[in-house]
Chain A
Amino acid sequence: MADNKGVMAYCEVADGKLAAIGAELLGGGRKLADDLGEELVAVLVGSGVSGLVQEAIALGAEKVYVVDDELLKEYQADSYVAAMEKVAMQAMPRIIMLGQTNVGRDLAPRLAFRLGTAASLDCLELAIDADSKALLQTKPVYGGNAYAVFTTEYYPQVVTARVKSMQPLERDDSRKGEVINVDAGLDASAIRTRVVEKVVEEVEGIKLEDASIIVSGGRGIGGADGFKQLEELAKILKAAVGASRPPCDNAWVPAGLQVGLTGKIVSPDLYIAIAISGSSQHMSGCSGSKNIVAINKDPEANIVKQARFAVIGDWKKIIPAFTEKIKELMAG
């Protein structure tokens, strides 16, 4: 245990680029490493990822472990867990941080179990206990109704951090760092899954994660037709359209629009929640918004309590008038 040192950030690569979560982990990891007085290392796993080393260093890593192999072209648990296990055994880090993405959700628990421990997923806050140097892992439980602080005496301590929960550092290309290439040593026959197709479901207009305004609808919208009205409002506001889970489950909107614990995590300047009750699982995805506006017929709905502004009533009456007034104000 005493042998485990340093903070390791697994930096996901998407479309040949460092995914935003990597920069966030390096930012958050930098602070943990400084508090420990230990080093921050980045890990890049994939095929043709060596070119990203300098960027990881510019974002705060002192060392970058690279596992570059043709067999790692696509994320698959078998190959990536094996690669990360090798890196972890060589580097013996105290902490391994991953992102709470669809890759991190898959990789972190398998890696943790492989290393003989369990992970904490979806951490909102990570801090070092000054006395024990243990990693304090704060994560939502009960759908966000409560938070729990976990720690573990088994090393490495494996966690995923929620997207946007940590601040990246200012990129500084004058930073210097060391590169360590690790041979994946993979045997194709040990990869028991095969990705036969990747389907991208294009979403028209602005992406949810990038939007500064989101117009979001819930079960009370009642159908795909209702969402047309939300789309119209979104277009005027240059906003993205989002949803709670029921509209996605009912295929009124694509599944990719789901906001929440098991959907997208968003933090726009303005989140307009229309006919959404504000379950803890939904709020987990949007409570980071600067301003929440609730439009709901039920004054007791949880979303109303958590909003900055609310209008109580039937959205079918409210949204057309709201849209008209917005148009007028924007023209003026």
Chain B
Amino acid sequence: MNMIVCVKQVIDPEAPPATFKIDTSTNQVVPPAGMSPVIDPYGEYAVEAALKIKDAVGGKITAISLGTNQLRDVVKKPLSMGADELVLLEDEAYDGGDSFSTAFALAAVIKKIGEYDLILCGREASDWNAGQVGSGIAEILGLPSITLVKKIDVADGKARIERLTSDGYEVIEVSLPAVVTVSNEIGEPRYPTIKGIMGAKKKDPTVWTPADVGLDPAQIGAAGRKTKMLKLFQPAHEGQVEIIEGESPEESAANLASKLREAKIF
């Protein structure tokens, strides 16, 4: 099984909402001071999904990450978890893309890698919440795609996949190669082992410029966008909280119940 996982570096989405800031003059998010970026959580679930398959049937996992200023310690996480190779698309030309230009670049890289049975992405990245790159890659490469995946079993060139629905899940069979986008229901990503971390330290990622992949800079990054962002802003949270007090937690609780009754909320 040859597997390719697309996973990028993001601002830590678990940072407290109060630390989130925007520079409105540039329409950009200001990374919170003193907090390291992380690999995108849903991408990490995709790495875990690939590792589960590798555990079951063996295979090779190549992680691809597109972006600029990628900290090696961060983007090497898939390697330390157990992936075999890391390809970095690191060039200013890749910058400022949207789902369209990003999927376009990733699809070109996947084609260059050439051997793949399964391509895994996260269901949506924690920064732009676009939720489109996996489906886009499938369209560009002409592959079937299954999104919102919670379980994958592979055997005999086929995959049996559980996909989340509004009231449960459906079991889907697909022949490979295919693209999947992974949800958190796949199970918590494993912690890197010491051996994994040591191995990742020694491993040099492959870095590809657009020219290496045969990409025209006009088709990628900001130049290849189909969508335009007009404005980025923080929603205002109006409203004042009323803290309900009491002599004891039990009394506060009773006061809360009375308050809700008075306000006819129940």
Contacts and interface: CB of A to CB of B under 8 A. Distances in A.
Given A192-B174, A213-B266, A118 B257 contact: no
Chain A interface category by residue count: 35 or more
A325 B148 CA distance: 42
Nearest to B261: A329
Contacts of A106: 135, 145, 147-148
Contacts of B150: 255
Interface in A234-271: 237, 245, 248-249, 255-256, 261-262, 269-270
B193 interface: no
B188 interface: yes
A311 B128 CA distance: 34
Interface string A301-323: 01011111111111001111110
Contact of A113 (B18, B139, B234, B249): B139
A311 B247 CA distance: 12
A94 B87 CA distance: 39
A304 B17 CA distance: 12
From B13, B166, B169, residue with most partner A Cβ within 10 Å: B166
A310 B127 contact: no
Interface in B113-139: 123-124, 126-132, 135-136, 138-139
Nearest to A327: B257
Given A141-B129, A152-B227, A279 B17 contact: yes
Given A105-B148, A121-B129, A311-B243, A255 B185 contact: yes
Interface string A83-113: 0000000000000000001100110111011
Given A109-B131, A109-B132, A199 B169 contact: yes
Nearest to A150: B227
Interface residues of B, number: 84
A290 B16 CA distance: 24
Interface string A116-131: 1111111000000000
A294 B256 CA distance: 10
Given A149-B230, A279-B14, A245 B145 contact: no
Contacts of B227: 118, 120, 150-152
Contacts of B183: 262
Interface string A73-90: 000111000000000000
Given A199-B168, A262-B183, 8 more contacts: A78-B144, A105-B147, A106-B145, A118-B99, A121-B131, A142-B20, A145-B234, A320-B250
29 contacts: A77-B135, A101-B166, A102-B164, A109-B99, A109-B131, A110-B145, A112-B132, A113-B100, A118-B130, A118-B227, A141-B232, A142-B13, A143-B13, A146-B29, A146-B235, A147-B233, A148-B231, A149-B230, A152-B228, A196-B171, A198-B168, A213-B266, A270-B265, A307-B241, A311-B253, A318-B252, A320-B253, A322-B254, A326-B257
